[in-house]
């Protein structure tokens, strides 16, 4: 007569529970921050007032991109990177304002804004680990359109940045995102400082 080990069902149940937990965790999207450490000096700014516009929908936009271990990560690119946008523009122009969506035209007129910059952010990421989920690579593209006080487009450029870390164990921040942001925003700042139409502008 064949006798079954009494512990067999218990072990089998435990193993199935572990497998189930792994399957549940696989492919999940981890909440992270892609806040950039961008901070420039502002002692040589152009004496003019400009604004930047981020729509309410973009501020609330949450995106999900790949990470390591078959998982994903989710974050709010505009909310996280808005301080970097402000810091970059503030290092070139004396006064920088966030232009609201409602009453936009009146706000631009009341604050005598010479230009309004509209950034569009595109991000992507990946991870080189089959076990750990934090991303090892991050790509950022900043498409910036500048409009004059009349609402006419006077400038349109794209700036890209890539960040890579061999191993990342950060569960909240994304180190390669900081590298990508530093590169992309650095290119944006350089372009603004070298363009005569921005360096020669004056308050109306």
Which residues, in sequence order, are bridge partners of residue 148? 115
Show Cβ contacts of residue 39 under 8 Å, excluding neighbours closer than 6 positions.
87
- The 10s digit of each residue's pLDDT in 88-115 is 999 999 999 999 999 999 999 999 999 9
End-to-end CA, the chain: 99
Share of the chain above pLDDT 90, in %: 72
How does the average pLDDT of the chain come out, rounded?
Answer: 87
Q: What is the DSSP letter of 118?
A: E
Structural fold of domain 29-199: Rossmann fold (3.40.50)
Q: Are 31 and 77 in contact (CB under 8 A)?
A: no
- Find out whether 52 and 117 touch, Cβ atoms under 8 Å: yes
Is there a contact between 134 and 127 (Cβ–Cβ < 8 Å)? yes
Q: Report, as an integer, the average pLDDT of 46-58.
A: 96
């Amino acid at each position: 007569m064949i006798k079954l080990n009494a512990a067999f069902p218990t072990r089998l149940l435990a193993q199935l529970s572990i497998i189930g937990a792994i399957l549940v965790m696989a492919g999940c999207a981890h909440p992270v921050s892609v806040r950039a450490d961008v901070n420039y000096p502002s002692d040589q700014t152009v004496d003019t007032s400009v604004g930047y516009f981020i729509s309410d929908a973009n501020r609330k936009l949450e995106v999900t991109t790949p990470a390591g271990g078959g998982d994903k990560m989710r974050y709010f690119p505009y909310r996280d990177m808005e301080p970097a946008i402000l810091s970059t523009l503030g290092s070139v122009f004396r006064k920088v304002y966030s232009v609201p969506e409602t009453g936009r035209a009146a706000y631009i007129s009341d604050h005598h804004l010479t230009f309004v910059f509209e950034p569009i952010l595109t991000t992507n990421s990946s991870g080189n680990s089959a076990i750990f989920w934090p991303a090892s690579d991050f790509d950022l593209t900043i498409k910036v359109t500048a409009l004059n006080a009349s609402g006419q487009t006077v400038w349109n450029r794209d700036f890209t940045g890539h960040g890579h870390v061999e191993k990342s164990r950060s569960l909240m921040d994304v180190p390669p995102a900081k590298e990508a942001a530093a590169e992309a925003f650095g290119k944006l700042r350089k372009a603004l400082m070298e363009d005569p139409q921005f360096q020669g502008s004056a308050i109306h």
